[in-house]
Chains A and B, each alone.
Chain A
């Protein structure tokens, strides 16, 4: 038989699982309690971890001699000025730093990683399949080439989708729908797995192991 504190934890956890599932019947106070509990818990969890991170990455190294780390610490504190309307303009400076660095980091890799390499691999795979003579490979990679070109044409919003562009966009839409369908499928099975995990926890961990000592 499990320790009392573990059984209590199991029962509390089961209560919260049922409280969230009760939302399927209708919105009710039990569900709201579970909802409010996770809000408070999440904020506390993030505060605990992030302050520890700030302490280890900035405060302690700064106190050990790396005084430049005062600058990002100060910028982080300046972000809190947006809470008061009169001095909210000060928060633009640290926001600009974050946006500038984030944008720069993103741009540098995007051109190569997501545009050039994607187009290059699409063409290269097709030419390799032709060289190999594998008919199924040629069909598949030709389909990918057509799909990539037509999908990109769908996102051309500066011209009306008429004529050749219209036909291309329509074909591209079909490929995009298949892709969305695959993503949707992944989500469905993911959520089912979550449900299985919680039900399994109640049945195997709480009921069988903790309560029945199995």
Chain B
């Protein structure tokens, strides 16, 4: 893979094409492991707490699993069928979106208690956050017009500075971990396997 990037030989480029395609196929085939792990987790949850309510939770999981699976296989059009779309849009879409909506309240309540001007770093965090937040809200864009260029400046100058530093540092770390992995020196992978 690395040789395909740094050398002009076509054979390495061809190998890269084949290898990256294999990754896509392997990833696709292994997805059913999620079902096994989910079953394992559900069994353990029920064993820890053998109540009718817990059983109801387990049955709910499998009810929706099979409802989606059957509606995705049994009707013409598979996942594009009207039946699957009904399940997908009304349940999967709504629950997934609402989980993120709940995070607004969590973030807001935690900011109320912890986002205070206790140190210079906290002031920097606060200023960066609040200036860019106000820049995004049309109400403040109209009634505090200078917030727009100031918010843009925060995004394009100090955020870029900090972000680039973080990108370079993270890339250096990723390179080192990658080389150690290829060299067989990465301990965490040995432990994980």
A interface list, Cβ under 8 A from B: 5, 9-10, 12-14, 16-17, 19-21, 23-24, 29, 32-54, 57-58, 68-69, 71-73, 75-77, 79-80, 82-83, 91-92, 94-95, 97-111, 114-115, 118-119, 122, 140, 143-152, 154-155, 172-182, 184-192, 194-195, 197-198, 201
Of the candidates B29, B35, B67, B120, the one having the most CB atoms from chain A within 10 angstroms of its own CB is B29
Nearest A residue to B173 via CB reads A155
Can you list 23 residue pairs at the A/B interface with Cβ under 8 Å?
A20-B102, A33-B56, A36-B61, A37-B91, A38-B95, A44-B67, A45-B68, A45-B72, A46-B34, A50-B32, A54-B25, A68-B18, A72-B29, A79-B26, A101-B23, A103-B181, A111-B175, A147-B158, A152-B165, A152-B169, A180-B162, A182-B155, A198-B101
Dominant secondary structure of chain A at its interface with chain B: helix
State whether A178 and B92 are in contact (beta carbons under 8 Å apart), knowing that A43-B35, A107-B2, A152-B168 are contacts in the complex: no
Contact B57 A33 (CB under 8 A): yes
Which residues of A lie under 8 Å from residue B136 when comparing CB positions? 185, 189
Q: Contacts A34-B98, A41-B65 given; 4 further ones with Cβ under 8 A?
A: A16-B90, A45-B92, A46-B31, A58-B25
Contact A43 B94 (CB under 8 A): no
The 6 closest A-B pairs by CB, nearest first: A151-B165, A147-B161, A104-B1, A76-B29, A181-B128, A179-B162
Of the candidates A41, A98, A148, the one whose C-beta lies within 8 Å of that of B26 is A98
Which residues of B lie under 8 Å from residue A148 when comparing CB positions? 161, 164-165, 168
B73-108 interface mask toward A, CB cutoff 8 Å, 1 = contact, 0 = none? 100001100000011111111111111111111011
Which residues of B lie under 8 Å from residue A94 when comparing CB positions? 26, 30
Contact A48 B78 (CB under 8 A): yes
Q: Is the CB of B145 closer than 8 A to any CB of chain A?
A: no
Of the candidates A47, A58, A140, A187, the one whose C-beta lies within 8 Å of that of B31 is A47
Which residues of B lie under 8 Å from residue A49 when comparing CB positions? 79
B interface list, Cβ under 8 A from A: 1-2, 4-6, 16, 18-36, 38, 53, 56-58, 60-69, 72-73, 78-79, 86-105, 107-108, 111, 120-122, 124-130, 132-133, 136-137, 153-175, 178-179, 181-182, 189, 193
Contact A151 B164 (CB under 8 A): yes
Which residues of B lie under 8 Å from residue A50 when comparing CB positions? 27-29, 31-32
Shortest A194–chain B CB gap in Å is 4
Shortest B92–chain A CB gap in Å is 5
Which residues of B lie under 8 Å from residue A147 when comparing CB positions? 157-158, 160-162, 164-165
Which residues of B lie under 8 Å from residue A33 when comparing CB positions? 56-57, 60
Which residues of B lie under 8 Å from residue A75 when comparing CB positions? 22, 26
Contact B61 A76 (CB under 8 A): no
Of the candidates B4, B25, B26, B89, the one having the most CB atoms from chain A within 10 angstroms of its own CB is B26
- Give complex CA distance A149, B179 in Å: 25
Dominant secondary structure of chain B at its interface with chain A: helix
Which residues of A lie under 8 Å from residue B88 when comparing CB positions? 41, 45
Contact A192 B91 (CB under 8 A): no
Which residues of B lie under 8 Å from residue A185 when comparing CB positions? 128-130, 132-133, 136
Contact B107 A106 (CB under 8 A): no
- Give complex CA distance A199, B35 in Å: 32
Of the candidates A53, A79, A104, the one having the most CB atoms from chain B within 10 angstroms of its own CB is A104
Contact A13 B167 (CB under 8 A): no
- Give complex CA distance A194, B98 in Å: 7
Shortest A170–chain B CB gap in Å is 8
Which residues of A lie under 8 Å from residue B95 when comparing CB positions? 16-17, 19-20, 34-35, 37-38, 41
Contact A72 B22 (CB under 8 A): yes
Contact A184 B125 (CB under 8 A): yes
- Give complex CA distance A197, B98 in Å: 9
